[in-house]
Structures are given as structure tokens and as C-alpha cells.
Chain A
Amino acid sequence: MSVSGHSVIQVCRVVVLLLVLASPARAQDVLIPMDASQTDHLKSYGVVYWALQRGEPVDWLLNYRGGSFLVADFSGFRNELAIRGISHVQLSGTEVAQLVAEVESNQANTALVRLETPPRIAVYAPEQTLPWDDAVLLALKYAEVPYDMIYDDDVLNGILSAYDWLHLHHEDFTGQYGKFYQYRNMPWYIEQQREAELAAQRHGHRKVSQLKLLVTQAIQQYVSEGGFLFAMCSGTDTYDIALAAFATDIVPVEYDGDPVDPDALKKLDYSATLAFEDFTPSFNAAEYEHSDIDTGPPPPQLQNPALDYFTLFEFSAKWDPVPSMLTQNHVGTIAGFIGQTTAFHKRFVKPEVVILAEAPQREEVKYLHGSYGQGTFTFYGGHDPEDYQHFVGDPPTDLSLHPNSPGYRLILNNILFPAARKKKQKT
């Protein structure tokens, strides 16, 4: 499970240790523990982002007490921690030195990563209000992390270069409007379809699938040039399906007015995708499924929030810092949750992709990560980590009731990951 191919962050332990210890005498440091003692894990990410915005570096202690944060105390910081309800511990200079030495010791699977710059975050989502929630928007709002909303026009006008981090959630990049055909007479569906058709026309296309392909390719270009992409739910598989189908028509007549290309399967090109290969798209307009990548809900006997779970892989914090960062958590086993895309069949995951979490004994990947060009992508199956089965029209989850959500922590790990200091690759 090596990530030696990644061009991004590698921890240069000696340098970081020296940096920490050689910093001008830190009057006091503040440790934000991220183990079970933390009162609000989700807001902790927000306060780290807040510190980075103020030019204060933060040390992320991978695998140490659930992936804790160490910050040199500065004016107003502890007050902000108190306001946000984040538990913390004040450490003396000696205690910090001991802690850093412990984290950097060769005996422990822990490491220190310095975070320096707050990533500029874009969330790809339509302005229109849709009758389902978006887990990343909920997480960002709750953690008080700033972001911009962008959509098709912005992407095609080249705005992505202004951001470090791009999130996709419940999106359908195949141009089938989420395959919500049964809702086609609902006002939100009509509005969504109209807006998509108008956007396609603005960019000179008759079909929405053609517009979405361009958007998909622009995002791929962004990743290849060093962007970080995080996608959830149907934003994962539909993204790769659209890329694979660039030379054909996989959209049923109900959605675009003409039938699927009879040779569509032969024309799929899996070399164009990021994470998946050898999958088969669904050509049935009435089927609420885009392809066989998605495992669908678990078997009936496991469709129970108390029984359905997935486990995180443990990586070497010193040698595999990227997957380590993405899997920091205070638990190793996380409650499952269903979405239009719930999890990914392992047989369709490309071999070079790193599996971060999977459902035990089910050959189902829940969370994965990979590199493309200079950038990386992370896919997370399921819709809302704290709403086992989110239905259209359900109210959004109130995260103040889930401040320690392990499932939501995985989303927020992705926000801080691009903030890590970029270092030259180990030789």
C-alpha cells in the first residue's frame, strides 16, 4: 500500500523536528486531542483552518491520540477554542519537546506533518436548492470553514486554477439528472433540467451529457495540474463513467431524446478514468443506478445502522503520510451509510488506487485515494455519514447533534490534507 508515486507530501522528519524545536521559545503550546476525549472533533478542523488563516502553522500529529493538532498559543486562540467548544490541553516547552520526540520516534507509528497554508476550497454544486443535503457543505458549514460555490459555467471558464481543493457530492456527470426519472414532474427536477439544458446551450451543446463531459474533463485537467479532488456519493462513479464514455452515448432516450449507442460498451475507454475500470454502465432509465461500480445497499440482514460498518486501514504514518492523513480518526470502525452510490465493488478499482476503508468480508471499498498527474483524488461512498439512508425531501442532518462523527471526520481530513507543507519526494 505504498504511495511512493505521489508527488505531494512526504514527511521529512528530521527537518520538521528541527523546525519545531528550533522555533523561538514557544511560551506555551496547545494540544487539541482528537481521541475520544475531544468534545467536538468536527469544529477542531475548523479552528485549525482558522489558525492557518491567521498565518499560524499547525502540526498534525498523525496517529497520535486520533490525529491530534499542536498549535503554538497565540492571542485569541484559546478563546476561540472555548467559543467553538473544542477541548484542549496547554503544554509547556518541555512537554512539547517530549511529545514531538515521542511522535517522531522510530518505535511508534506516528509522525508530525506541518500544516502551513489554508487551502482555497471550492464546492461544485448548483445554486438551485435541491431536496437533499450535501454532507461536505454540512461539514464545512458546521466546522466554519470558508468555501466558494462553483458550477458548470465557472469550471468551463477556468476558475478551478484559483482553488486547491474541489469537492463534488451528489452530482451526475453522465447527464442523466441523477436518474431521478420518477421525480421528473417535480418543480426542482424541472428547474434542474432547464438550468442544465440552458447551460449546455450556452456552451454550444445540444445535450447535457456533452456539457458534463467537458466539465468532467476540465476537472481532470485540474487534478493533473496538481489539484485535490474529493468526491462523495454519485459524484464518484458518475465522474469516472462520464470519462470512460467520452467517445460514445450511454444516456437512455428518456434523458436525452435519443437511444444509447448500440456499440457503447465497446467504445468505453477505461484508460481515461481515475479510479475504476471494466465496469458496465446501466442503460435502464428507470433503474436508480448508473453502473455496476456501486455495491448498492448491504444485504437485507445487514441493513441496520447497528450492524453495517466499515473499517479504516492503518498506514505507516512516516512512510505513507497521505493515506495516513486521510484516515485519521478516533475509531477504527465506522458506521456504514447508504447513498445512490454506497460503496465500490473492489473488482472495478484500478490496482494503483489506494484503498483507505472497506466493508469487512464484502469486497466493498468505501473510501479510496489515488494520484493523477500532479494531483490526487479521494472518493468516499455513501450520502450522509450520520443519516443511514437519506431520502429525497428529508431534512438536512443537524451536525451539532453529531460533533464527534467519525464518518464526517473523513471528509474534513481531506480539507486539511492540501494544507500540508509540500516537500520534495524522498529519494
Chain B
Amino acid sequence: MRFFPIHLLVFTFLAGSVSAQPQRADRTAQLSEEESLEGTDASRYQLALSYIRGMQFDQAIAVLRELHVEYPERPIFFEKLKEAYVNTKEYENAIKLLDEEILRRDEEQRPVLEAERAQLLYLSGDEPAAMKAWYAMVESAFSTETAYRIAYNSMIQVRLLVQAIDLLINGRQKIGNQHLFQVEVAYLYNLTGQHELATQEYLDLLALNDRQLNYVKGRLARDLQQDGALESAIRVTQKYISIEPELQQFRNLLAWLYEENGDFELAYNELLFLETEAEASGHGIFQFALRAAEAGAYSTAGKAFQNVLGTYPEEDISVEARLGIATMYRLQGERSAQPSEYYQMALEAYENFLSDFPEHHQTPSVMAQIAHLYQDIFRNRDSARYVLSKLATEYADSPVGHQAQFDLGRLAIEEGNLDRAKEIFSQLSDHAEGELSAHAKFEEALIYFYSGKFEITQSLLNSSIRQSTDKEIANDAIALRVLLLENPPLDSTNQALMSYAKARLLLRQHKIDETVKASQDILSHWGQYPIADETQFLLAEALLINKQFDEALVVFEEFSRLHPQSPLRDHSLFYYAEILETVRGDTAKALQAYNDFLIQFPGSLLVGKVRERIWALRDSSM
């Protein structure tokens, strides 16, 4: 055994590599043996090595053979000679050498040499003789576990993976222990693409020792990346649970596999079973609920959160679960086509949380979420103002407080209190830090714009553009600056642009009908002014918000005819096509409009989007 210690075999396997290096005697022993050489023997040995380095194998073999004949008991000459034979593919000579050496060695040293002999028989092209030799070696070594491992290691070096599986399974039967070689056999099954059988081995390992769960998960995590491996693993684990339903490690593994497969409901069922069976704290189910909500498995996530609430009502984890539920509803709202119901549920959940846990460390962020829902989703300005004022006062010098101030400024604009809004944004642009300061400056510029003070607007926009690193703010600021440059005053009152600015404010205040009316008034009074195309766009935008799609379609359809020089013609045609496609469902007409777009506006920034739509419509019509 000392020639191939068991710990070395195990290490070789755990390193995960199927080493293809020939078996070698202990390197350290070889080195010390080299050092012990003296006189001409040392010189002759060094000469042989230099021949090998120079690829002069014939000369090396001649020298080594002489040394081996003179000193047959010295392993160093035997090893080097054997290595030289193998390197020159003189397998017959190598086998003959091994045969002599096997006879010379003690019984306990023979298995490694015999396995090596079998390997050389295989390399020489005689696979049947090789197989026979491996099995004979195991038998002569009294069919011990170690003998099988020696043979296994030798076989996988020449990639006889299937044969190695057979050998190890044969070993189990011979030794009478079905639990032997589980890691090795699982590994071999994985290498040969037999994922179901690999999983069986891992499950057998788990059945014996539940502490191997993380090890098995670690092994499987890598194996599951292969095609079909995950499905196989699930199938087999299900089968094992049906036979031994009480083994928790199987269910734990299955829950993990289901989750890897994106099947959260099935994973939850398994976790639930484990929670009822074991001494659990609810943390496992809670973490699972968070993952499920993030992955969009809301129904399962909801059940899991409720389970935590019901099972651990007095524990801290139930407080976290309540917040988790609110967050889940908000996520559902953000991702849903019919969001209002979810937003309402999120609002209630956040408010109840705040009422029950006013001192919780998450209180500021919960208040911010509530204010956001009131202001931007439900347009409940009074409630929004109440929460935002509280936040701004209680957390005055923190980022949360600054953000609340900013939202109060937005609220003031929506309520038409521009002086108050200007005051807030002016303070914020001085006191807040980073992007919020730049954003506040942009809002301040907008207020001057709405008020018809275009020169101050220009100056503040320049400052905002310089300061901002946020692409969206910078783009909006640039767009407004371009609009001002393209619409210089055409009379002393500059009524057209001032009316347009007021109409924009109306839209900002969600006064849609008034926006429509104001836009139409501008068009009837100043239809020939440069601002007319922007106004028509504003009108279309308001009509779209009001779901007046037919009217919006007409506005976009007429846009190019009415404003043949407008830089917005490409946007107009794009929205026209988009309404045809998404609202009217008239794909043929939409396709035609998209095609016209490419002919008319090949240099537009929207070209990429248009092409995407064309390909999508072409695919859907196939």
C-alpha cells in the first residue's frame, strides 16, 4: 500500500481531475534515491537522463537496461527504464520489465504494478487482455477496497470510464457493500453523461449521511449545467422520496433542484414539509419567499410569507415577512398591465406596517414608498404631502429627507404653487449633493420655463447640463434648450411659446382635457409658428394619456403634411405605426408604415427600434 497510499487516491479524485499521467513511484523517494547514487553509477544514470532530455531514447534505454540488470533491487533504475520504454511506445518491453519486477516485489507491492501492466496492455492495443489483467489484479489482492481503487485509478487514466464503472460495481458485489465507491461512481456517471445514475449515487450517499447535503449540492451544481442533467436529477430524487419519504435531506435537495428549475411552487411544497417536520425558525421559508417574489412567482411567494406570519407571529421574522409582502405587491404593480389593485395592496401593507412598527429601522424607506404611491400612482396629493413633510422634517439632513424635499417640490408644481416649488428646488440645488442637486436645478429651470421666463431658463439649463451625470436629466435639459433656441420670440409678447409652456405645465399637472384644449387653441392661433409641431405632439401625447387613440392616430397621420420641415416627423410616423400595431392590431398597415419610415428617415435615431418591430412582425406573420 505504501506505493499508492489511499489518501493520494482520494486527493486525486477530490481534485476533480482525471489525471492521465502514468503511475509513478513516490517522487520524494525517487529523488532521495537519486541523491544516494555514487561514482560511475551516478554518472551513468545522469548520462541516461541527458539522453532522455535529448530525445535519444534508444541510447537512454541501453544505459538504463545495463543499470537495471546490475542493480535489479534499485527501484530508480526500474522506474526510469520503464518510463523510457513507455515513452518510446515499446509496450512489450515495458510489460516484460513489469512482469519481472512483479515477481521480485512483495505481495503487498504488486497490485500497483499489476494495474500498470494492465494499462500498458491496453495501450499496446490488447483491450481484452488488459481488462482480464485488471480483474486478475483485484482478485489476487483479495478483492479489497484498495485494490479496486488502484484498478479504477489506472483505468480512468486511459479514459476507460464505462469499464471503470463496471469494475467498481463489481467491487461492491464482491465486497458485499453497496455503499462503496459512491463518489467515484457518481463522478464517472457524470463524465459519461448518465445523469440519472449519477444522481442515484449521490442520493445513496445522502441517505447514509445527511451532512453530505452541501457537498452533494456542490457536485450537482456543476453537473447540472450539462444538457438534461437537471431534469434527470429531479426525476430520480422524486422517485427516492416516494420510496423513503421521511428522509429530509432528499426533500431538501429536491426543493433546491425545483428552484434551480424555476419551479417555485413545487420547491415550496417540499420546504413546507421540512418546516413542519424539523425545528425550524422560518428563516428558510422567508428567504425562499423573497427569492420567489423577485423571480415573479408571486402566488408561491405570498403563500410562503403568509406561512411565516402564521407560524411565527411573535418572532422578528414575521415583521420582515410583512415588509416582504408589501414589497412583493409593489413589484407586482410595477410589472403588471393592470397595476392599481397591487399598488393598493402595497400601500395598505406599508401603512399597516408603519402603524404597527413606527420605530422599525426600515421606517424611513417605508414612508418614502408610501409617499411615492400616493404622489405618483394614486395622485392623492394631500396624503403625499403629509408623509413627505413628516419625512422632510424628521430626517432633514439625510438623503431620505432631501429626496422628500424634492418630491414636495414636484408636488408644488402639480398643485400650481410654482413659487413654493422654486423655493424648494433652489434650496436643494444649493444643499443637496450629487445628482439630486443637478436634478433640482433642472426642475428650477422648468419652473422658469412654465412661467415664460426663458432667458433664466436657458441659464439654469446650461448649469444643470454641466453638473449632471445622469443621462436622462442631461438629455431632457438639452431637448428643452434646443426647443428654446428653435423658437425665438417672433413678437414682443412671445405669446405662442408662453402658451405652449403653460400647456406643458397643464400636462405635468395631469390636467389632460385642459392640455388638449390649450394645445388646440395654440394651433388655431399660431398654427404657422415654429412651435406648432411641438404643440401638435403635446396634443397627441395628451390624447394618448386620455386613451383617445383614434384622435391621436389622426394627429400623427397628418403631422408630416402639416409640418414638412419638422424634426419630429420621424417620431410622428413611428408613433403612428406603433398605434396601428399595438392598439388597432393592424399589422399589415403597421408594417407598411414601418417600411415607409425606413425609406423616409434612414438616418433617424429610431431606425433600430423600427427594424426590431419589422422583424418581429415578419416573424409573427410566418
Check B86 against A259 for contact (C-beta < 8 Å). yes
Asked if A387 is at the interface (CB within 8 A of a chain B CB), the reply is no
Contacts A185-B17, A261-B89: A85 and B123 contacting too (C-beta < 8 A)? Answer: no
Residues of B within 8 A of A187 (CB): 222-223, 225-226
A83-B598, A257-B159, A262-B88 as given contacts; A185 in contact with B21, CB under 8 Å? no
Q: Say yes or no: is B340 at the interface (Cβ < 8 Å to chain A).
A: no
In the complex, what residues of B have CB within 8 A of residue A197's CB?
A: 159
The 0/1 profile, CB within 8 Å of A marked 1, for residues 94-113 of chain B is 00000000000000000000
Give 16 A-B pairs besides A83-B614, A262-B57 with Cβ atoms closer than 8 angstroms.
Answer: A82-B595, A82-B602, A83-B595, A85-B607, A87-B602, A187-B223, A187-B226, A190-B190, A191-B227, A194-B192, A253-B22, A257-B20, A257-B159, A258-B86, A262-B87, A262-B89
Question: How far does the alpha carbon of A39 sit from the alpha carbon of B18 in the complex, in Å?
Answer: 52
A261–B55 alpha-carbon span in the complex (Å): 11
B123 to A400, Cβ gap below 8 A?
no
Q: What would be 8 A-B contacts, judged by CB atoms less than 8 Å apart?
A: A82-B599, A87-B602, A185-B17, A254-B20, A254-B21, A257-B158, A259-B87, A262-B55
Judge whether B226 and A257 touch: CB under 8 Å: no
Please report B residues at the A interface, Cβ cutoff 8 Å: 16-18, 20-22, 55, 57, 86-89, 123, 157-159, 190-193, 222-223, 225-227, 595, 598-599, 602, 607-608, 611, 614
Query: When each residue 19-36 of chain A gets 1 if its CB lies under 8 Å from chain B and 0 otherwise, what string results?
Result: 000000000000000000
Q: Is the CB of B20 within 8 A of A255?
A: yes
CA distance A184 to B611 in the complex (A): 42
Q: Which 8 A-B pairs have the closest CB atoms?
A: A82-B598, A257-B158, A187-B225, A185-B16, A254-B20, A258-B123, A82-B599, A262-B88
- In chain A, what residue has the closest Cβ to B614? A83
- How far apart sit A39 and B57, CA to CA, in the bound complex (Å)? 63
- Cα separation A249 to B88 with both chains bound (whole Å): 11
**Cβ–Cβ < 8 Å partners of A257 in chain B:** 20, 123, 157-159
Q: Is the CB of B226 within 8 A of A191?
A: yes
Chain B CB within 8 A of A94 CB: no
Tell which of A83, A194, A253 touches B611, judged by Cβ atoms closer than 8 Å.
A83
Interface of chain A: mostly helix, strand, loop or mixed: helix
- Chain B residue with Cβ nearest A264: B55
A residues within 8 A CB of B595? 79, 82-83
Closest to A86 in B: B602
Closest CB of chain B to A134's CB: distance in Å? 19
Question: B602 contacts which of A85, A249, A253, A400 (Cβ < 8 Å)?
Answer: A85
| Chain A residues whose CB sits within 8 angstroms of the CB of B223 once the complex forms | 187
Contact indicator A253/B20 (Cβ below 8 Å): yes
| Interfacial residues of chain A within 170-223, with CB under 8 A of chain B in the complex | 184-185, 187-188, 190-191, 194, 197
Query: With the chains together, A85 CA to B607 CA distance in Å?
Result: 8
Complexed CA–CA distance, A95 and B87 (Å): 72
Considering the chains assembled together, what is the distance between the CA atoms of A400 and B222 in angstroms? 33
Q: A39's contact among B16, B55, B602, by CB below 8 Å, is which?
A: B602
In the complex, what distance in Å separates the CA atom of A262 from the CA atom of B89? 8
In the complex, chain B residues whose CB is within 8 Å of the CB of A259? 86-87, 89
> Considering the chains assembled together, what is the distance between the CA atoms of A400 and B18 in angstroms?
42
* B191 and A194 within 8 A (CB): yes
CA distance A87 to B191 in the complex (A): 52
Write the chain A residue with the least CB distance to B156: A257
Q: In the assembled complex, which residues on chain A have CB atoms less than 8 Å from the CB atom of B17?
A: 184-185
B598 shortest CB reach to chain A, Å: 4
